Structures are given as C-alpha cells and as structure tokens.
Amino acid sequence: MNSRQEPVVTLEVRNDGVAVVQISRPEAKNALNSAVREQLAVHFRALASDVRVRAIVLTGGEQCFVAGADIREFAHASAIEIYLRHTEYLWEAISRCPKPIIAAVNGFALGGGCELAMHCDIIVAGESARFGQPEVKLGLMPGAGGTQRLIRAVGKVQAMRIALTGCLVPAPQALAIGM
C-alpha cells in the first residue's frame, strides 16, 4: 500500500461476470512500483479461482495505462538487487490466469506498461493510446519478456525497430502491425 493506505489497484467484480482491475497512480502516470505489482498479483491470483468471474478488464483509466516501471525504485539499486526483487510473480499471476484478460489502453503503455498490455489476451486501444519500449533511451533492454512477446506479436523487424529506437507506436499503427 502507499503512504495514504489507499489501494493503488482497485478491483470491481460486476454482476455480468466481468472483473475490472484498475491501476490508480495518476500522479505517477500509473508507473509500476512494488505496491502496484504486489496488488496486481494478489488480484489476478484471486480472480483466477473466482467462479463469478468470466473475463477480466485491466485498465489504467482514461488518461494513462502504465507509463512504465517506477524508475525511482531502481535509481540506486544494483543489478543484483533489482533481480532479487522477484518481479516475475506479477507476470506469472497474469500468465497463469485461466480467464480471458483484456487490456483497455488509453494514453501511454510504455516499457513495463507495454509488457503488461502484451501479457493480456486482447488489447483494446483508445485513440490516445501510445505503445513503446523506450528503455533503450535509458541504456536498458526491456525486461519481463517484453522483447519476446513483442516479436511474437509484430514480427522481428517491427519488434527490433520498436525496441532499438524507443519509438512510440500510436494505436492505429499498433493495430496495423498486429500488436
């Protein structure tokens, strides 16, 4: 939980069998910090066995899906410290969820946000959606399987262009290239 003791990820299970999981850190453009990752993993594990739920929508709201990892958490950490944070528990919770997961993307889906969207079964992007793997601009390569999922989604040439240039891909282009 954050310092205000409010959830940074909310869950609503609607009567129609749809669960809506919303990331709510607008002050940080929904950046993935440890609290967000933990709460997402908890919700996805619970939803996996919830018989009321037939499908899950994952969103960041109307302004921004997820603008990437919260780099403030990584600023002074060594590579081994980052590795030892075991962030894979989030990706496993989503990958192992047997329910269809729809990413409802508005605004930025960058870095970890792009990877989060690609972990979902379907991406529905609003006109404002922008996808990208800008880690290269920080001297990093995308983690959490981002490059592998990107290659499977759009092919090697497009994936290399996105990952090696850090370019942003608007929603219409993302649709055209198979993202």
Please say if 12 is a catalytic residue. no
Please say if 135 is a catalytic residue. yes
Which of 115, 125, 129, 144 is catalytic? The answer is 115
Which of 67, 68, 135, 174 is catalytic? The answer is 135
Residue 2, SS3 per DSSP: coil
Torsion sign over Cα 115, 158, 151, 123: positive
CB-CB neighbours of 160 under 10 Å: 14
Which of 60, 111, 112, 113 is catalytic? The answer is 112
Which of 28, 67, 69, 159 is catalytic? The answer is 69
Question: 41, 37, 147, 134: which is closest to 82 by C-alpha?
Answer: 37
Angle between helices 146-154 and 156-165 (to 10 degrees): 140
Please give the positions annotated as active site: 69, 112, 115, 135
